Amino acid sequence: MNIFREVELRAASKPKKISKVDWGDPVEVAFHLREMRHKERTTILDELVPRRICPSCERIRINSSSWVVNKEKTEAICKSCYRRRIPDKDLDKTSKLDCKLFVEMKIRYRVSAIEISRARAKINISVNEFARQAGWSAAYQYKLEDGSVLTVTSEVAETILEVFLRLGFYTKDVL
């Protein structure tokens, strides 16, 4: 079995807190270390960008791996902004390989159709208007709200949160 798959399965089956780590089990140790790193990262991000809004581009990034924190841990910006900051001279030292290694590497978020529907109704915005603001069809918005769409990419999740934010609201998805 692929080790990452196994780590994933364990992550799903284990209770959130590991009280005892079996240090002799490499899979368990890898899982524990990953969890610790994630926790530390989340704590830093909660402090620097509690609402997960990038100070540079003002877009929402809900996935903690979409962030870059500086060494002093005083600043966090999203990865796209970070990439834009790399000076050209550094890029000049690199040469491009004519291949693409990952076709799709997207985290998917499980949708709560009823919560999206309720939240949209709560702020008095129609399905059509919400869809227009999000930049997709009303048909897709209906699917998001009737449970036909089970999971979305982080881009779609962030767009939904950004529409709410533009209208002056944020949810528990961002602190």
Residue with Cβ nearer Zn ion (57 or 107)? 57
Binding mask 60-99 for Zn ion (x = CB under 5 A): ------------------x--x------------------
Of 12-20, 41-49, 56-64, 115-123, the window that binds Zn ion (rule: CB under 5 A) is: 56-64
Give one DSSP letter per residue of 83-129, joined into a string.
Answer: HHHS-HHHHHT----S--S-S----EEE--HHHHHHHHHHTT--HHH
Smallest gap from Cβ 174 to Zn ion, in A, equals 14
For helices 127-134 and 154-166, angle between their N-to-C axes, nearest 10 degrees: 110
Contact 78, 57 (CB under 8 A): yes
Regarding 57 and contact with Zn ion (CB under 5 A), the answer is yes
Contact 112, 152 (CB under 8 A): no
Considering CB under 5 A, how many residues would be counted as binding Zn ion? 5
Residue with Cβ nearer Zn ion (77 or 116)? 77
Smallest gap from Cβ 170 to Zn ion, in A, equals 17
Q: Tokens 């490499």 map to which residue?
A: 26
Residue with Cβ nearer Zn ion (65 or 151)? 65
Phi and psi for 117 in degrees, rounded to 5?
A: -60, -45
Residue with Cβ nearer Zn ion (57 or 175)? 57
Q: Which of 56, 117, 133, 154 binds Zn ion (CB under 5 A)?
A: 56
Phi and psi for 26 in degrees, rounded to 5?
A: -60, -35
Question: Which residues lie near Zn ion (CB under 5 A)?
Answer: 54, 56-57, 78, 81
